[in-house]
Amino acid sequence: SAVISQKPSRDICQRGTSLTIQCQVDSQVTMMFWYRQQPGQSLTLIATANQGSEATYESGFVIDKFPISRPNLTFSTLTVSNMSPEDSSIYLCSVSNPTDASGANVLTFGAGSRLTVL
């Protein structure tokens, strides 16, 4: 399966600032997914990042708050803009396992970025 490098692994941020998370995949993938896990909550899909087109956002998430870049088939960034304490979460990027032939969309994840907003 793919190997994903994600950074930063953790950060402490001030209210009102923005932070960009980067994910690098060791193989070319069509779609990359960005998830968030707030404390005690489920992993929730923020958006799907497609190369060459705008990201597709899930209900409750908007581009102004979570702008995404996807400049090529191996890299993506997620920015958390104008942060508030409610944005304190673990953010993960993921891709579908390219060797999975079942069609069951088994995911490979980065190690996550744990953000704390003061």
* Interface ranges with other proteins (CB under 8 A): 4, 9, 31, 33, 35, 40-45, 48, 92, 96-97, 102-112
Which of 56, 62, 59 lies closest to 79, judged by CA? 62
Of 93 and 117, which CB lies nearer to other proteins in the complex structure?
93
Dihedral sign of CA atoms 24, 89, 36, 81 in order: negative
Nearest approach in angstroms of CB 89 to other proteins is: 13
- Name which of 30 and 82 has its Cβ closer to other proteins: 30
7 C-beta neighbours (distance < 10 Å), count:
14
Instruction: Give the integer Cα–Cα distance in Å for 37 and 65.
Output: 16
The SS3 of residue 72 is strand
Minimum distance of other proteins from residue 64's CB (angstroms): 24
Shorter beta-carbon distance to other proteins: residue 17 or 43: 43
DSSP 40: T
CB of 28 to other proteins, least distance (A): 17
**Between 44 and 51, whose beta carbon lies closer to other proteins?**
44
